[in-house]
Structure 1
C-alpha cells in the first residue's frame, strides 16, 4: 500500500471514532429532508450563493468585493500566530519573559513585539488567493479572510487532533464539503485515484469516502517542519482554494435546507447576506441549527425571511455559539461602502 494511502486510512480510522460519538451528528435524515442525504448533486448550481445583486448598505462592510488584494491588507497583532512562530522556532524570543509565550500558547507582549513584522506579513500573504477564490468560486473575500482570522489567525497547520488548516476544518466538515460539491469530488479523485472516480458522484457519498476525505484534509494542512516557517507557504496558499470550495459546498447545502423548510428556491426565501450568514451558522454549528431556526421563523405567509427574525429563533447553547460565530465573522472591520464599488 502506498504511503499516502496508509496515511489517509490511518487519518480516517483515528478520527472516525470521534465522528461516531459526536453529539452534533445528524442522525434523523428526515428532519432535514431526504434530499440532503440522498441526492446532493441536484443543487450543484446554487445561484443564491452567487447573487450579489442585492447587498444592503448595512452589510457592505463584509460583502464588498475588493478590486485588488491590497484592499484586504491588515496590520493586527495576533497572539496565537505569534505564539506559534515562537514555539516552532521561527522567531527567537528567548530573551523575553517566559520565552515570549504564555502557558496558553499565546505570545506575551514581548513575544508580540519580537514577531511583529512576520505577523504583519503572514496575515496578508494569502490575500491574492482569497481574492481569486472570490472571483472563481464566489465566496465573499472579506468574509473568507475574517473567517481565517477567527479560526486560525492565519496559521495554516493542524490545530489539536481534529482541526486542519486555515479554516480549522474537521473530518465531518471535509466529508460534508465533498458530499455537496461534485467539482471538488472530481478534483480530489484525480489526486487519490490518478484519474476518474471509481464511482459516480451520486453513488459514492452515501457514506464516507475515507481516501477523498483524507486527501482534502491533507490539502488543507500545510505543515512542513523543515520549511522556513515550519509550514509550506505554497501549499498554504493553494489551500485557500480548497477552503473556498468547502465553504461553497456548505452554502449549497444551506440553500437546500432553506428549500426544505419553505418549499421555495432559496433565492425567493432569503437574500444574499442571509444565505451566507446561514452558511456560517451551518459551518460552525451544523445543519440542524440552521433547519430549526428557519423552521421556527417561517410561515406560509412569509414573503422573505430576514436575518433578524432567523437569528432571534436560534435556540440552545450549541446553536447560540454558532450565532456568536456568525456575528464575529460579519462584524464591521473594514469601512467599505457602496460608493467603493
Structure 2
C-alpha cells in the first residue's frame, strides 16, 4: 500500500512539472556584451531618431529596461509558426495561409487599374483609341484601357509566381499571402510611386528595412559584408553608427527598386524577380518583431497567448502600420483583460493611422 502511494505521489509531481514547463516563457538569450546593446533593443522604449514616430522599430512597452532581446532566437526559426512557438499546423486555416500550393494555383486574372495605368504610361499597352488614352487619371486606367491591356495584365500579375513559390519554400511565408501582399501594396508594379518613399512589389521603406536588418542577423551579415568592412559587421546592426545603419537601409530599399530608364517598360524584370525573396524575408522579420512585442507584454511566446491565424493578422498590421500600432493594440488587449484575438486587437487600433491596419487585413483576407 505504501508503494502505491509513492507511485501516485511521483505521478502527481511529474504532472505538475510538465504543466509548469508547458506554460513557461521562451528561453532568454544571453549575449556576450549586453551592455553594448542600445536601449531601443533592450526595452523597445526609445524611438529610433532616424525613423518616423509612426513606423519606428521601437515599440513602447510597459516593462521598460527589462525585456530580453529574444529576436535573435526567433531569427533562426524557419517559419513564422516556429517563431511564434507553434510547431503543429492548426486543424483549419484559410486558403491564403496554406503553406504550399502548385504554381498554377497562384495564377490570377484581376483587373488592376493602377497596373494597367503604368503599362499604358510605359508604352507596354497601346490604348490611344480609348477616351483619355485609356486613363481616367495619370495613375488609374479607365475601363477601355483595362480592356486593351487584357493580355499584358495577365502576364504582369503572374510574372513573379515562380519566385514567390521558391521564396515560400525558403522562408515558410505562405505563397498566396505573399502574392496578395504584392497585389495590395503595388498591384505588381515593382517600381516607385509618388515621392519614392515606398518602393518595389511590397512597397519597402526605411522602417521595413530597419525591421529586416534588426530581426534577421544572418541576412544583415550577408548584406553588410558586401558594403562595410567585415570588422564593422561583426558588431551587429544595433551597434553600428546611425550613419552606417542609414547606409544599409538605403541600399536595401534601392535593392528592391526595379525602376530602370534603359529597360523595356522602364522595369528591370530580373531585379524585380530577385526582390521577391527580400520581401519574404521582410515579412518573416515582421513575424519576429511581432513576437518580441507580445513577449514584452505577456512574458509568453505568442503561441501561448494567441492563435496562428490571428498572429498572422497582427503581423500584417505590423508590416503595414508599424510596431507602434502593434504594441499599443497588444497592450490594450492585455490591460482590458481580453484574450489576444484579432477581434480584440482591432479594438486597440484606435488612431486613424492604426485603423488603417484593420482595413488592410480586410483587403488581404477578402
TM score, norm. by length of structure 2? 0.77
Instruction: Note closer, same or farther for the CA distance 1:300–1:153 as it changes in structure 2 (3 Å cut).
Output: closer
Query: Deviation digits for residues 34-84 of structure 1, max 9, x if unmatched?
Result: 578977435323523584734353x42211133321111101111000000
Instruction: Note closer, same or farther for the CA distance 1:26–1:181 as it changes in structure 2 (3 Å cut).
Output: closer
Q: How does 1:121-132 map to 2 (within 5 A)?
A: 121-132=155-166
Instruction: Note closer, same or farther for the CA distance 1:45–1:268 as it changes in structure 2 (3 Å cut).
Output: farther
1:134 shift after superposition: 1.2
Structure 2, gaps ≥5 residues long: 1-48
Q: Are 2:283 and 1:244 equivalent residues in the alignment?
A: no
Query: Which of the residues 110, 117, 138 maps onto 1:76?
Result: 110
Residues 232-241 or 24-33, more deviating: 24-33
Q: How does 1:143-162 map to 2 (within 5 A)?
A: 143-161=177-195, 162=197
CA distance in 2: counterparts of 1:28 and 1:71, whole angstroms: 38
- Equivalent residue for 2:137? 103
Q: How does 1:1-341 map to 2 (within 5 A)?
A: 22-25=53-56, 29=60, 31=62, 33-34=64-65, 40-46=71-77, 47-49=82-84, 51=86, 53-55=88-90, 57=92, 59-161=93-195, 162-193=197-228, 198-201=233-236, 203-204=238-239, 207=242, 209-298=245-334, 305-331=340-366
Query: Deviation digits for residues 195-233 of structure 1, max 9, x if unmatched?
Result: 675342254357461221122112211111222221111
Name the SS for the 1:210 alignment partner.
helix
Structure with greater contact order relative to length (CA < 8 Å, sep ≥ 6): 1
Residues 118-127 or 35-44, more deviating: 35-44
Residues 118-127 or 226-235, more deviating: 226-235
1:274 shift after superposition: 1.8
Whether the aligned pair in 2 keeps the contact of 1:258 and 1:265 (CA below 8 Å) is yes
Whether the aligned pair in 2 keeps the contact of 1:158 and 1:223 (CA below 8 Å) is yes
CA distance in 2: counterparts of 1:53 and 1:21, whole angstroms: 37
Instruction: Note closer, same or farther for the CA distance 1:113–1:202 as it changes in structure 2 (3 Å cut).
Output: closer
Query: Deviation digits for residues 74-100 of structure 1, max 9, x if unmatched?
Result: 011110000001112222222221111
CA distance in 1: counterparts of 2:303 and 2:234, whole angstroms: 32
CA distance in 1: counterparts of 2:142 and 2:301, whole angstroms: 50
Name the SS for the 1:224 alignment partner.
coil
Which is higher, the Rg of structure 1 or of structure 2? 2
CA distance in 1: counterparts of 2:84 and 2:235, whole angstroms: 25
Whether the aligned pair in 1 keeps the contact of 2:96 and 2:176 (CA below 8 Å) is yes
1:291 shift after superposition: 1.5
Aligned residues: CA RMSD: 2.8
Instruction: Note closer, same or farther for the CA distance 1:34–1:248 as it changes in structure 2 (3 Å cut).
Output: farther
> What is the aligned length?
312
Instruction: Note closer, same or farther for the CA distance 1:210–1:288 as it changes in structure 2 (3 Å cut).
Output: closer
Instruction: Note closer, same or farther for the CA distance 1:205–1:265 as it changes in structure 2 (3 Å cut).
Output: farther
- Equivalent residue for 2:11? none
Whether the aligned pair in 1 keeps the contact of 2:107 and 2:158 (CA below 8 Å) is yes
Structure 1, gaps ≥5 residues long: 1-17, 332-341
Instruction: Note closer, same or farther for the CA distance 1:88–1:36 as it changes in structure 2 (3 Å cut).
Output: farther
Large movers: runs of 4+ above 6 Å = 35-39, 299-302
CA distance in 2: counterparts of 1:56 and 1:259, whole angstroms: 25
Instruction: Note closer, same or farther for the CA distance 1:23–1:242 as it changes in structure 2 (3 Å cut).
Output: closer
CA distance in 1: counterparts of 2:346 and 2:61, whole angstroms: 23
Residues 62-71 or 82-91, more deviating: 62-71
Name the SS for the 2:94 alignment partner.
helix
1:33 shift after superposition: 4.7
